[in-house]
Structure 1
Amino acid sequence: MHENENARKSSSHFTPRNSKPKWDDRGLGNTCRFENGKMFFGGDPFDQFQNGGMDGGPGGSSSNADTTKLYETLGVNKSADAKEIKKAYRKLAVVHHPDKGGDEHKFKEINAAYEILSDPEQRAKYDRYGLEGLEGGAGGSGGHEDLFSMFFGGGRGGRRSSGPKRGEDVNHPLQVSLEDLYNGKMVKMAVSRQVLDGEPKMCTNCSGSGAVVELRQIAIGMVQQVRRKCPACTGEGYMAPKKRQREVLEVLIEKGMKNEAKIVFRNKADEKPNMEAGHVNFVIQQKPHPLFKRKGADLLITKTISLNEALCGFEWRITHLDNREIIIKSRSGEIIKAEKDNKTPFVKIVQGEGMPSHGNPFVKGDLYVLFTVEFPEDGDLKPDQIDMLRKILPGASMAIEYDPEVAEVAHLELGDVKNFGKGGVANHDRAYDSDEGGEGGSQQVQCQQS
């Protein structure tokens, strides 16, 4: 017999002496219960005590929940502090590590137990509700069902109580400049949320299930059973007076935070009866910067220089994100090319002048400078300047001796490599043939086989 049913039979608080709880014949897993001499179908009779501290609900620890298994796995008492838990974990991990001949399943149990008990919030939920109260599981598992399978060899079949559910999270985009992400900043954000203003009471329309079942006739002699959200409590199962509350949150933008990073304020979303409030997340939206482009912890700027600067040297001033003035200057004899030998853009870096790393702002990325060399336009150089450059610059073109009566001189025109292969008369001939149509074009010859 189901363990919850045993509990109901053994307690006169929930069932009158001369009545027995029955399973709902609709197969919804609900029970009938009595309140003030009236019979109610659906819901769990333990739900009415959830806020009164009785066992089995989020208001108190579950009497059926196992809250000692994880401590037994690590071989510590429930009163052990974080240091003792860590010490026990390290000792067991060395002994049971698969690389040292240990049992892999036992090693996974030890890891999962440590990850839960080393987290104060997860440990508090476990001490109160057992593995059932752990939202989303731990230790890389796929949820509390996987934890039950790990520690107890399978799920606890049938309907079982769970830890407190959590409401929906609320995401707020937060526009942040690159300067603020570089230097860090504290901003104050006002949020308005819905809070409970009284004791929650079970919805009598759905008996706390949050859903109602309706019968709809779809044909003669055919009835469809439809389950929909309870309109009285909007699917929450409980009802309580509510009010709006305004609160100012101090949002800390840490140095080096990335785009789309979340700053989480736990349980600051709307409150709902019989549920934990969801989280308020401020999502970083990095604003574009007129000078710097960012990728990870590195910054990039593009710089166009003249041919003179590329050959003879350059220097220019930039104002960094922390308002430092930096002079970027080429070394003596340094040549900036139009592109690298492998036809990629020519890039230089200033080490350590990128973004601070999130979590360790003392380690910074690099500042990349992507160069574009601007060549003179036709006619910009005068003949005497050309003669002077020919004498100064290495690799000057040598004059060729030729007979103008025999050799032909060809000059270059501006072209596009995309048109390579499209020249000549071949294309012209194809266009001509297609223009002829059916009459003047090629004739189709049909061969008849006798």
Structure 2
Amino acid sequence: MSRQEKSIVRSLMVSLRDLYCGTSKKLSVSRNVICSKCSCSGCKGSGVKLVKVYYYGLVVQPCNECRGTGERETMSNNCCPGCKGDKVVQEKKIVEVHVEQGMKNGQMITFPGEGNQAPKTDSGDIVVVLVQWSHPKFQRMGDNLAVEHTLSLTEALSGFQFALTHLDGRKFLIETNPVEIVKPDSYKTVNDEGMPVHKKPDMKGKLEDLRNEEIKIKQAQAPEVYDEDDYMHRAAEMCSQQ
């Protein structure tokens, strides 16, 4: 089994929106490739020559100029001007990275055989690692999304509604029942508004248990400090006054 060159690993910064909607990005990667000018001039890199032999006609024999290697000799007087005898030269490779819907932070995308080259070895791979930068509003938790919304005491006691702009630009309404009292650090779940499931984007509407967006309700603290019993007592007083 022939040896393979080590993989080239590069990071690609993506946004949460990129992972939600999907996108394509181009990435420039430096790699070593076999020198195209380094082939033996006698056999054109094949390592063999056709030699006419009396009685036998044309016979395949190892090239006597490169000793069957197919490569230019590395002696100083015959050194390849392209690679100076290193057998490889460096070039820039542009790879187009397709970021699919639902991919995750740290997920790897491999380009087989697109990495470093060297004589008598298999080409290495290029491995792109997705690195997601934090979003100012949404936090990803697996296939779920969470967004924090701070309420006033009045909103917590008498209901609330607010318009939320999603990662794809859609706006939808988040609201509670007016008679519902919202406790601090509680959650409201909206089905089918989480992250797409990778490789299953058409199942978005069906995976309600996996496709949730959690709306975290955080109570806006009043200047004074009060406990939970006091909170519920004040809630009852405000409701009786309405």
Distance 1:390 1:349 in 2: 26
Contact kept? 1:256, 1:355, Cα under 8 Å: yes
Task: Give the CA deviation at 1:335.
Answer: 1.9
Out of 198, 203, 210, the residue aligned to residue 358 of structure 1 is 198
Task: Give the CA deviation at 1:185.
Answer: 0.4
Contact kept? 1:353, 1:366, Cα under 8 Å: yes
Question: What residue identity is the alignment partner of 1:265?
Answer: F
Cα-Cα RMSD:
2.5
Contact kept? 1:240, 1:273, Cα under 8 Å: no
Q: Residue 267 of structure 1 aligns with which residue?
A: 113
Distance 2:177 2:144 in 1: 23
Distance 2:126 2:153 in 1: 54
Q: Residue 434 of structure 1 aligns with which residue?
A: none
Computing the radius of gyration from Cα coordinates, the structure with the larger value is 1
1:200-243 superposed Cα distances (whole Å, 9 cap, x missing partner): 89xxxxxxxxxxxxxxxxxxxxxxxxxxxxxxxxxxxxx86222
Question: What residue identity is the alignment partner of 1:181?
Answer: L
Structure number with greater CO (CA < 8 Å, separation at least 6) is: 2
Alignment of 1:324-343 (within 5 A): 324-338=170-184
Task: Give the CA deviation at 1:278.
Answer: 1.0
Task: Give the CA deviation at 1:190.
Answer: 2.0
Q: Residue 298 of structure 1 aligns with which residue?
A: 144
Q: Residue 171 of structure 1 aligns with which residue?
A: 9
Contact kept? 1:316, 1:327, Cα under 8 Å: yes
Contact kept? 1:178, 1:288, Cα under 8 Å: yes
Distance 1:390 1:324 in 2: 37
Q: Residue 59 of structure 2 aligns with which residue?
A: none
Distance 1:376 1:244 in 2: 64
Task: Give the CA deviation at 1:304.
Answer: 1.3
- TM normalised by structure 2 equals 0.68
Distance 1:183 1:390 in 2: 45
Note closer, same or farther for the CA distance 1:176–1:362 as it changes in structure 2 (3 Å cut): same
Task: Give the CA deviation at 1:389.
Answer: 7.8
Distance 2:235 2:125 in 1: 69
Note closer, same or farther for the CA distance 1:241–1:392 as it changes in structure 2 (3 Å cut): closer
Contact kept? 2:158, 2:181, Cα under 8 Å: yes
- TM normalised by structure 1 equals 0.38
Question: What residue identity is the alignment partner of 2:138?
Answer: F
Distance 2:107 2:198 in 1: 11
Note closer, same or farther for the CA distance 1:240–1:366 as it changes in structure 2 (3 Å cut): same
Q: For residue 353 of structure 1, give the secondary structure of its aligned residue in structure 2.
A: coil
Contact kept? 2:87, 2:119, Cα under 8 Å: no
Distance 2:236 2:181 in 1: 18
Task: Give the CA deviation at 1:317.
Answer: 1.7
Distance 1:186 1:335 in 2: 45
Task: Give the CA deviation at 1:361.
Answer: 1.6
Q: Residue 34 of structure 2 aligns with which residue?
A: 196
Alignment of 1:217-296 (within 5 A): 241-296=87-142
Question: What residue identity is the alignment partner of 1:348?
Answer: K
Alignment of 1:33-432 (within 5 A): 163-197=1-35, 198-199=38-39, 241-338=87-184, 345-364=185-204, 365-378=211-224, 393=239
Task: Give the CA deviation at 1:319.
Answer: 1.2
Distance 1:315 1:290 in 2: 21
Q: For residue 26 of structure 2, give the secondary structure of its aligned residue in structure 1.
A: strand
Contact kept? 1:304, 1:371, Cα under 8 Å: yes
Calculate percent identity across the aligned residue pairs: 32
Task: Give the CA deviation at 1:244.
Answer: 2.1
Task: Give the CA deviation at 1:393.
Answer: 3.4
Question: What residue identity is the alignment partner of 1:349?
Answer: T
Q: Say which structure is richer in helix.
A: 1
